[in-house]
Structure 1
Amino acid sequence: MTRDAKIRIEDVTKIFGPNAKKSLRLVQNGMNKSDLLKQHGDVLGLNRINLSIDKGETFIVMGLSGSGKSTLIRHFNRLIDPTAGRILFDGEDILAYNTRQLTQFRRKKVAMVFQRFALLPHQTVLENVGYGLRIAGVGSSATKLRAKEQLDLVGLSGFANHYPGQLSGGMQQRVGLARALATDAEVLLMDEAFSALDPLIKKDMQIQLKDIQARLHKTIVFITHDLDEALFLGDRIAILKDGNLIQVGTGKQILTRPADDYVARFVGGVNLSKAMTCGDLALPVDDFADWNLETVGDGYRIARRGEASSVARTIDATANIERAFAPLSEDAPPLVVVEAGRAIGLLCRSGVLAGLKRN
């Protein structure tokens, strides 16, 4: 992914309490969250957070309860303002916005999907989806057309005239997602948006979100406490603890190179063979000095140097590593890892074993 920052957070600190400004100096001098609460009664929500979120990226924020996840995401649309620091969208400091600018920013640039749906029970599904457009002053015909398009996108085209109470939880969450998409906001903020759903419905929503993101390329900030969800959805993951940013990286980086013992414990229960993909562990063909790969028509042939070639077996880059176990017997040729019909590397037994080792 090309590095093109959509959102930048610079030294953002948030302290809740009547003595926030005084407490800020104490935190800047090293006082931790626990001592601040005991000695001064103020709560440290975020402590000098610095991060950059790329345009078109699905960026996951994780942490235990009280780590600062929801506090952080609410800074992105200024539902919460920091005690100190800067928040930049496309290089522009949104903390400098006046009331009019902030209103336009919230209407045009950023939309939020809530955990508890937050639908208006007395309005139809179509009216709920078009709510943000009506508030922004969009005409009735244009609002209805846009709302119908978003219902089609989330698979609810036949439910426009139903009311929220007539829908299942998963369907209500789809309405919430359609409402956020209807404004064509550049950034979607999703605060534990799927956590209230049953496991099967939750998985369906995750798959649908990935499909929508593949088509629309929004910048998504997604809060979750579910590591499997984070690994499935996220391009990168940030892990918070007690208001501090502990690590930012891809799922592979966090799983195999945790920054400290806290992160190691946080991800320790994950089955790496299910969480990591063949694309994660594929190595360039040039790294395999003993093997020769050639393209033949729509397929591939592979051979050890100096030996007769055979038809190469392929595996999709998105397949989890567990699916490669059976075809990768000890003496088997490497698998050709393909993405969008093109070979991106090879996968061998020793490479899999090395890649699944935690540092």
Structure 2
Amino acid sequence: MKQLSQIYLLLLLVTMLNGCSTIGYYSQAVSGHLSLMMSAEPVDDILSDTSTPMDLRGKLTVAQQAREFAGQRLALPVGEAFSDYVNLDRPWVVVNLVAVPEFSLEPHRWCYPVLGCQAYRGYYSLADARAEESQFRNKDFDTFIGGVTAYSTLGWFDDPLHTGFTQLTEDRMVALMFHELAHRVVYIADDTAFNESFATAVELEGLRLWLSEQGKSGQFDEALDRLARRNQTLSLVEDFSARLDVLYAQQDVLPDQQLRNRKAAIYQELALAYQELSAEWSEPGPFGPVPVSLNNANLALFRQYNQHVPAFRQMLRNAGYDFADFYKAVEMLSEQLEPQRSEHLAALSERFEEHL
């Protein structure tokens, strides 16, 4: 009965929208998510099936343990999320399109009911994403299409586990579950940095406690190494973004071709700097294996994530690692205007020191 009511909600969403292109986009979103829901099987049934492969059985068993841990120890609103499983025929659940003007780092934004405006557009079909991408490329926009391992419906629906989760190592699968469940706690329309940094903080601290309980505390160092690589990359990106901002501010002075040439040179320097930075890393960094090809869309998307993670981890520390109290503090902060939120988070970030 609950699944049926969710289907009606999806259909109602489409009927509320105007415009052929809008209806077309939401129709694919509804059909894509509906297909995901209808393909789901209860995890308990899969675990009780003797023909279930041992590897999948092991991952689903760990996932159910992590699901219980998330509700009890992390005070996350689990509900019926991750109680079903979907076997996907692809490594991603959706792909996101990002489009940014040729001489800007401000991405095009699409606006959605409830979610507000976002700098990306999700598609269940790669062909559909490429079709819209071509429209932006015809207007000389920089674009990027990337696969998304998982997404959250913010508690509106019972999100299932799927191949995107179980193809990960156990620690990354558990971390991703905590991250997506955190989006059910608080969500601010139009503030991706706040939403994703909060969820990443819950992911990190949740994983730290989970690994400690499992007697695998040493594995948390690997998560911190991944975070450090992201932070080093973010610092590099911010430096080159500042140079690009200076260049793009000269649009009314320099001819387009000169702007393009200087832009290409800056991105070539960035690619080389990233190659040098990642030379000693044990695994590919946030932009993947080198050599990399980057543009405005890559940078615009990457800059929106992780910048407030230390602040939220400090907030949790201030709450004595009581997650329920932490969530209350985050909800109160979310009610402030963006300038006040950012100022408060910046001050918290300066106070944070990593676990010794």
Task: Bin the TM-score by the shorter chain.
Answer: under 0.3
Larger Rg: 1
**TM-score using structure 1 length:** 0.25
**TM-score using structure 2 length:** 0.25
